[in-house]
Amino acid sequence: MSVRHALLALLSEGPKYGLQLREEFEGRTGEVWPLNVGQVYTTLQRLERDGLVESDESNDDGPQKGFRITAEGEEELADWLRTPPDLSAPPRDELVIKILVALHLPGVDVHEVVQVHRRYMVELMQQWTRLKEDEGHLDLGFALVVDAELFRLDSVIRWLDAADGRIKRATVEPLRPVAPTRPMPSVKRRSGVRR
Amino acid sequence: MDDVSKVYGEGATKVHALTEIDLSVDAGALVAVMGASGSGKSTLLTIAGSLEEPTSGKVLVGGSRLSRLSRNERARLRRRSIGFVFQDYNLLAGLSAVENVALPLELDGVPAKRAQSAAMTTLEELGLADRAAHFPDELSGGERQRVSIARAVVGERHLLLADEPSGALDSANGEAVMRLILAACHRGVAAIVVTHDAQLASWADRVVFLRDGRVVDQTMPPSRPESLLMPAPNQ
């Protein structure tokens, strides 16, 4: 989560104070990502150092100090909005690793391990879904964050379901009889040809 | 459902569709049954709705043990107390939305006028009053499924059984369908939704996991959702 760019976005609407930025950031993200005030000021200092925001001339470094975005800041924000997050390299997913480990551990039922994680994910989804039950009072930003989380957890469950099925098929298939090695059928066929 | 099993076929072709299922759903509760295809989800639903009989075990709906009821009594129970929602809506193409919804009441002997008026009330509650005169092929997929939910809850139904109710619907319509089912539960209906879709299942009070015809797991009662909004310790 880029606090830096979120603050730039808020400042692109007009000059604001540090405390105001914190409140608006939390409000817009449905208060899912709390932000401490120190984090806001450190980020603002760095943005100012990089020439992306300017502060009031006053010497007051307290909560009444105002900030505004610069032209470079606007440009940086526009670039960031359109830059895709880096999803090209597969992350070293802890859950995937656990299932891979369970697959080869003697005495461990990998399907049981899959189910433990599936149930946990569904329980988390139940909690997130409860948050959007009261549709009338649903803040748009918050609803979007909840949906994002539900889709993310859903995709984990779908992977678990697919893995469960794939492992089941893989353990069933080797039990099928391999190509017959007994000579009887081919002998019969040969004698048939001769006739 | 008390110790319910269902076996199809005999000898070498014998299939254990359900094995020793214990499942109870209180009035006002929404239970989701999740499982892969072939796990026995649909069989569970048809047995709960008395469309099929178990090989062994007891099924009780509103205190009545299904196996002790006559064929006619079971049919009446299905018409009066149980509503079904199917993936492909199962609306009758030659009937308008309101006629489709009134149908189970009329089949139960309610005079046509009263049935239509009850159907209209239900459609209004579901925000479909302006679609009442439309035929199924004039409705969108989401509207058709909402009409089929209206048909499933019209009158004094106590049990709502839904098989993959969001089927091919997009997520907004899927959510709308689950909100309607939940609203029925808040009015005291007991509902079972079988689905492979975790987003649908997550609307339920309890999620039961089915695997190869057996209940293998279920969710704990959800904890307070506010806990999700606490900052994680490592952030």
Q: Give the pLDDT confidence of B205-217 residue by residue, as tens digits.
A: 999 999 999 999 9
Q: What percent of chain A has pLDDT above 70?
A: 82
With contacts defined as CB-CB under 8 Å, which chain A residues touch B202? 122, 125-126, 128-129, 150
What pLDDT is stored for residue A182 in this prediction? 52
What pLDDT is stored for residue B61 in this prediction? 92
Verify whether the Cβ–Cβ distance A121 to B198 is below 8 Å. Answer: yes
* pTM across the whole model: 0.80
What pLDDT is stored for residue B155 in this prediction? 85
Whether residue A45 contacts residue A53, with contact meaning beta carbons closer than 8 Å, is answered with no
In the numeric block, which tokens belong to residue B111? 């005079």
How close A144 gets to chain B, by Cα (Å)? 12
pLDDT at B111 over 80: yes
> Which of A79-93, B9-23, B221-235 has the lowest average pLDDT?
B221-235
Verify whether the Cβ–Cβ distance A131 to B225 is below 8 Å. Answer: yes
pLDDT at A186 over 50: no
Residue bearing tokens 């089912």: B181
Question: What three-state secondary structure class fits B85?
Answer: strand
Task: Determine the distance from the C-alpha atom of residue B68 to the mean position of all C-alpha atoms in its chain, rounded to a whole number.
Answer: 23
Verify whether the Cβ–Cβ distance B229 to A31 is below 8 Å. Answer: yes
Q: Give the pLDDT confidence of A15-65 residue by residue, as tens digits.
A: 998 888 988 888 877 667 778 888 888 999 999 999 999 998 765 666 678
Average pLDDT (B70-95) is: 90
Size of interface A-B (CB pairs under 8 A): 69
| DSSP symbol at A83 | S
Average pLDDT (B77-96) is: 90
Is the confidence metric ipTM above 0.90 for this complex? no
Give the nearest partner residue to A127 out of B201, B209, B222, using CB atoms.
Answer: B222
Task: Determine the distance from the C-alpha atom of residue A75 to the mean position of all C-alpha atoms in its chain, rounded to a whole number.
Answer: 27
Residues 6+ apart with CB under 8 A from B154: B83, B101, B102, B104, B105, B118, B119, B122
With contacts defined as CB-CB under 8 Å, which chain B residues touch A133? 182
Strand duo B214-218 + B206-211: pairing: antiparallel
| DSSP symbol at B54 | -
Residues 6+ apart with CB under 8 A from A130: B222, B225
Amino acid at B120: M
Verify whether the Cβ–Cβ distance A150 to B199 is below 8 Å. Answer: yes
Verify whether the Cβ–Cβ distance A125 to B216 is below 8 Å. Answer: no
Q: What percent of chain B has pLDDT above 90?
A: 68
Which residues of A lie inside 8 Å of B (Cβ-Cβ)?
A: 31-34, 111, 115, 118-119, 121-131, 133, 135, 150-151, 153-154, 157-158, 161, 164-165
Higher pLDDT pick, B158 / B225? B158
What pLDDT is stored for residue A173 in this prediction? 65
Q: What percent of chain A has pLDDT above 90?
A: 46
